[in-house]
Amino acid sequence: MKKTILASASMLALAMSAPVFAQNVSDIFQSGGSNGATVNQTGTNTSEIDQTGSGAVADVTQAGTNNDSTITQSGGGTVTVDQSGITGSTSNVTTLADDNPPESTVSVTQTDDGSSSAAAGQANESTVFQDNVNIGSSVTVSQTQNAAGAGQNSSLVTQGRNATNGDVFVTQTGGDNTSIYSSSTSTDNDAFITQNGQDNLSDVTQNFQNGGAIATVNQTNAGGALNSATISQTSAGFSTNPAQFAIGADATITQNGEGNIASIDQTGFAASAVESNEASSDQQGDFNTSEIVQSGTLGSATVLQDGDGNESSILQSGTGQFADVTQSGNDNLSEIDQDGDSNEATVAQSGSNGESFIVQAGANNIAFVEQIGNGGISEIYQGDVAGGSNNLADVTQTGLNRSVIGQGTGSGNSATVIQTNTGGAINMSQVMQGDLVAGDDNTAANIVQTGFGNESTVDQSDTLGLGGENFAELAQVGSNNESTITQDGFQNSASVSQTGIGNISGVTQTGMGNSATVSQGM
């Protein structure tokens, strides 16, 4: 084993109890296997360690001002850097290997105690590059900045070729935080980022060959500043002939404001690169919450929230699910839960205190919800009882309205509800088509209500198994009108039109081919 150690006169002075702010410089170069290097510096510190060979250990402790540490390992090993001071610290770590990828463990801790006056350029900076490392490799970066909110924490972690099962943990506290993580041609690497400060910025890029990539970003804003997080996940495949791909995932989080929370969780195995899941969350404003959970393949989820206190939850499992949520205003709530294949849900709410709930199971069900104004409530349930398919629900509401559509069984059913409140008590509409009883197929219901205090109910089923295909249309204009349509059987139709105040109608039909028309009002 060959060792070369070069120590400056200032390092020797350190060993003889040099003053706190002395200029310390340490250079260590080692070749061979199982080398160990330990550096302890107090003052104004600079350290460089270069180790060639397997199983190396490098341990650097620096306390003082302008700490600077550079460590390079060619052959893997363990790196520990602990820097504390009053004007920020800089750490650069590189671990790599050309053959026989080794295990590499890196730990960097940087703390600025804030005892010096705040300065815009006062920063903790950490750079870690791991290339061609093996199972069990990890990177841990912990940064604390106490320079009265003016300092910065900056972390850059890159994992290159063949990185396997490499966990990365980055924790940043105080000041302006920036964390950038990227991995390429890697396997089953996970990244966990935690930020607590004034301005938080996190960027995660994962390009993996096999296994599942996990990225979690947690941001806490000290108040009135920016949160920003981006997650990008791509499967590059681990075999080209025949083509084999791991879990495909694409996630993006963008946050501007205070107190926003966003999470994306994606699992599933894709047989090809084009079968990956995609998810994005964009939140503008304060105290918004977005959650996206996808399992399966070909899932797509998009959330755009602009305002304060909005909440969105998307849960999707199966193949080819699609969800799109846009909310502008304050305190709106959207929940989408889809299970099966190729279901679609689209929600657009503008105003305040709007609520939308969509539950779909089965295949090829479609739900559209648009709510404008304040206090609208929409509930849609399709295929949730017996997994029906090809059902359509379309709800458009302006103002204080509530709509419930249940198409729990059967296939090919459609329900359209349009409600406009002109300024008064809530309008209420309910459509139940083959919901809790025997399936009703190819049935349609159309409801239009304008005014306030109107109530409508349509209940269509086919308990006798005659074939379904019932049709109901209902229009009410005015206030405090009530209408109920109940049909059971095959090819029954009902049409109700009421205008004015306080009209009441009821239609009940059972059997085949019945028809009813009601017209009341001015």
In 3-state terms the chain splits into helix, strand, coil percentages (rounded to 5) of 0, 70, 30
423 within domain boundaries: yes
Select, from the ranges 63-67, 82-86, 512-516, the one with the highest average predicted confidence (pLDDT). 512-516
390 within domain boundaries: yes
323 within domain boundaries: no
Q: How far apart are alpha carbons 395 and 458 in whole angstroms?
A: 15
User: For residue range 139-172, what is the model confidence (pLDDT) as tens digits?
Assistant: 999 999 876 555 689 999 998 765 556 789 999 9
Q: Is 51 left (phi over 0), alpha (psi -120 to 50) or beta?
A: beta
Its domain, for residue 394, covers 367-522
DSSP 204-222: EEEEEEES--EEEEEEEE-
Q: How far apart are alpha carbons 389 and 457 in whole angstroms?
A: 23
DSSP 292-356: EEEEEES-EEEEEEEEES-EEEEEEEEES-EEEEEEEEES-EEEEEEEEES-EEEEEEEEES-EE
Please tell me the total count of domains within the chain.
1
- Tokens representing 353 are 């205190």
36 within domain boundaries: no
158 within domain boundaries: no
- Mean pLDDT over the full length of the chain: 83
pLDDT band at 241 (very low <50, low <70, confident <90, very high): very low
Query: What pLDDT is stored for residue 9 in this prediction?
Result: 31
Choice between 310 and 5, residue whose per-residue pLDDT is larger: 310
User: For residue range 262-318, what is the model confidence (pLDDT) as tens digits?
Assistant: 887 776 555 554 566 788 888 888 888 899 888 777 889 999 999 999 999 999 988
Q: How far apart are alpha carbons 43 and 328 in whole angstroms?
A: 54
How much is the CA Rg of the chain, to the nearest whole Å? Answer: 31
Q: Is the peptide bond before 19 cis (omega within 30 degrees of 0)?
A: no
Residue 365 pLDDT > 90, yes or no? yes
User: For residue range 427-472, what is the model confidence (pLDDT) as tens digits?
Assistant: 999 999 876 655 568 899 999 999 999 999 999 988 888 888 999 9
The secondary structure of residue 164, as a DSSP letter, is B
324 within domain boundaries: no
Strands 23-31 and 3-7: antiparallel
Q: How far apart are alpha carbons 468 and 219 in whole angstroms?
A: 53
Q: Which amino acid type is present at position 309?
A: G
Residue owning tokens 């003889």: 16
Query: What pLDDT is stored for residue 248 in this prediction?
Result: 53
Three-state secondary structure along 379-439?
EEEECCCCCCECCEEEEEEECCEEEEEEECCCCCCEEEEEEEECCCCCEEEEEEECCCCCC
Query: What pLDDT is stored for residue 286 in this prediction?
Result: 86
Task: Summarize the confidence of residues 488-498 as an average pLDDT.
Answer: 95
Residue owning tokens 């005015």: 478
User: For residue range 249-266, what is the model confidence (pLDDT) as tens digits?
Assistant: 567 777 767 777 788 777
Choice between 488 and 19, residue whose per-residue pLDDT is larger: 488
Residue 103 pLDDT > 90, yes or no? no
92 within domain boundaries: no
Task: Give the residue from 197, 196, 84 showing the smallest Cα distance to 150.
Answer: 197
468 within domain boundaries: yes
